[in-house]
Structure 1
Amino acid sequence: MPLILLSGYPSSGKTHRARQLLDFFHAKIASNSSLPSPDPRVSRLKAHHIFDQSLGISRDVYRDSRTEKDARAAEYSAVKRLLGKDDMVIVDGLNYIKGFRYQLFCEAKALGTPNCVVSPLHAALKQLALKTPEVHVGTPVSTCREINSRLLGSPETDGGYPEDIFENLVFRYEEPNGMTRWDSPLFTVLYDDDAPPLEPIWEAMVGKEGEVKVVKPNAATVLKPAAESNYLYELDKATQSILTQILEWQKDHPGEGGEITIPDVPAKKIEMPASPLSLPQLQRFRRQFIALNRQHTLSQSRIKDLFVDYLNDNFR
């Protein structure tokens, strides 16, 4: 069933909105059971709330890229574990990287379930938000900073973000855009609104009474068996050759950042970080890429191209 992503600046009110959604979903499911003719689809629904504290993730994980990636992996695993035809999953987190939102969108699409993005807005932006509801406009940083300071000083809350982490997350935030399919439908919530648009979200995710919400997986999210008998061999060979070129480049450029041109991928370059990458690190990226693509029918000509993109995303 539906996947609802909360996205916004740190301390912008996401958890408060997530709890409002959770209470509303529980009430809708309970009220359905009291009807003379309950809708069996709604009766089977269960609502789940995923957030950092429920996964044992502290604010400090956002201080380091490695621990942050581990935190995103934990969130992704929790979504995969809970998402099903009878489950509504509210993912309450920063979800500030558009690539990660796309990854979760693909997971929902592959299961044939709808998804949406809910994003808090500030009251001062109300006029603009009403004119262009499909475009996200971030909550003013000054407001989030003020709220975060109060949370840091309050022992009765989960706590805010340390100031350096807060500023870094704000700087790196990638706003949702309702014109992209993975951020659509996008529901904006004004900072001073009493609640999110609860009924519209329910109808977008579950459907109106008597309506069955059907989402068809498309070619981008349906796993297909490999058509070529030597596909896995070529996948292994192509990725290993790129790792070899990276290791050779690092020998000639110790402790340097730079760009590597792959002969078979002239249009793209691997953007190397300043700190050297060890062989175990590179092999881990390679294994992850192979695991993601072993059941897809990628053409051999695209393997290196996509692997370069994958490495660049993980090197940032």
Structure 2
Amino acid sequence: MALVTISGYPCSGKTSRAVQIKDAFEKRIGDESYNGPVTKVVLISDDTLGLSRDGYNDGRAEKPQRGALFTALQRNLTKSTIVIVDGLNYIKGFRYQMYCVAREANVRVATVFVAAPSEMCKEWHQTRPESARYTEATFDNLIQRYEEPSSMVRWDAPLFTVPWIEASAPVEEIWQAVTAGVLKPPNAGTSSAPKPPSDALQALETTTARIVSEIMASQGSGMLSGGTVSISSPRVTVHLPAQRTVTLSELQRLKRQFVSMHKKAITLGATESGDVDWSEQGIGTKFGHYLEERFEGN
């Protein structure tokens, strides 16, 4: 259904805002009068995943931290779930990565920026239990590296800025954005290539071999000077070159080229010219066109 990304300085009150939003959403979907598509609200954070703040002490340790958060997001993002990611989310590249996952899943997005002065965040940080603190150097580093969300970029929009002095987040506006806002479809940059069926390679081999056999059989029955061959299964018409016989070795060579070219599509799900129809008819039609294009040059 939607991804809500919480972002802000460390110790700015992000978790409090995330819990406010989660509780308000759950109250709404739990109401007897509600009959919408949202059935669950999931809150993901370093704490819910059991991740230590020591992971932010250096870049090598931080990468697995973000990886765990990202994996949890992918696992929970569905058409009936609102996922709230409560984390630092201070790197715009990581917010963009999450945005791309949401686009691929065809769900809506929203970003909540919890705004608080860095000096106040540092004061609040000092009041936390030692087990819930960052080291002083890490805390200062996270403040310096923070990349503030912007409503001008698509991966942060729509953006809701919540000042630290506000009693609550704009829950109603956020709800409208994630349930009735603009739903951007996946594009070429975020879509996964469709996977071919498990028997695609076998279908490719058997269908092309059958067409080669039928072409040779038609020529052997008296059509020795070119013409049109109609294949019965799959139903394909192939126009052979006029005034000459196409040899078996020539057809076998073209068949091998065609199959080899499409083996790439077996793993990637598409060729450079677009998606592949892996049905017998689709393969036969494409192979027939391939043969005619090669014969035209001869």
Shorter chain as normaliser: what TM range?
Answer: 0.5 to 0.7
Aligned to 1:63: 57
Cα root mean square deviation, aligned: 2.3
Distance 1:140 1:222, change over 3 A: same
Letter of the 2:54 counterpart: D
Deviation at 1:294, TM superposition (A): 6.1
Distance 1:198 1:161, change over 3 A: same
Deviation at 1:39, TM superposition (A): 2.0
Return the alpha-carbon distance in structure 2 between the equivalents of residues 14 and 225 of structure 1: 38
Q: 3-state DSSP class of the match of 1:215? A: coil
Aligned to 1:216: 185
Aligned to 1:194: 167
Asked if residue 173 in structure 1 is aligned to residue 151 in structure 2, the reply is no
Structure whose alpha-carbon radius of gyration is higher: 2
Return the alpha-carbon distance in structure 1 between the equivalents of residues 271 and 88 of structure 2: 33
Asked if residue 112 in structure 1 is aligned to residue 106 in structure 2, the reply is yes
Match of 1:84 among 78, 86, 96: 78
Q: What TM-score does the superposition give when structure 2 sets the normalisation length?
A: 0.64
Letter of the 2:125 counterpart: N
Aligned to 2:118: 141
Q: List gaps (5 residues or longer) in structure 2.
A: 196-266, 274-298
Contact 1:11 1:160 in 2 (8 A): no
Return the alpha-carbon distance in structure 2 between the equivalents of residues 214 and 105 of structure 1: 12
Aligned to 1:277: none
Asked if residue 100 in structure 1 is aligned to residue 94 in structure 2, the reply is yes
Q: 3-state DSSP class of the match of 1:142? A: helix
Return the alpha-carbon distance in structure 1 between the equivalents of residues 67 and 185 of structure 2: 26
Aligned to 2:28: 28
How far does the alpha carbon of each residue in 1:171-230 deviate from its partner, in whole angstroms, 9 at most, with x for none? 11111111000010110001111111000000000128xxxx64311222112369xxxx
Q: 3-state DSSP class of the match of 1:221? A: coil
Asked if residue 151 in structure 1 is aligned to residue 128 in structure 2, the reply is yes
Asked if residue 52 in structure 1 is aligned to residue 50 in structure 2, the reply is no
Distance 1:142 1:224, change over 3 A: same
Question: Number of aligned pairs?
Answer: 202
Asked if residue 41 in structure 1 is aligned to residue 37 in structure 2, the reply is yes
Letter of the 1:64 counterpart: D
Letter of the 1:144 counterpart: C
Return the alpha-carbon distance in structure 2 between the equivalents of residues 51 and 296 of structure 1: 37
Q: 3-state DSSP class of the match of 1:120? A: strand
Q: 3-state DSSP class of the match of 2:132? A: coil
Q: What TM-score does the superposition give when structure 1 sets the normalisation length?
A: 0.60
Return the alpha-carbon distance in structure 1 between the equivalents of residues 98 and 269 of structure 2: 18
Q: List gaps (5 residues or longer) in structure 1.
A: 122-138, 227-292, 300-316
Name the % identity: 44
Letter of the 1:50 counterpart: I
Return the alpha-carbon distance in structure 1 between the equivalents of residues 271 and 166 of structure 2: 47
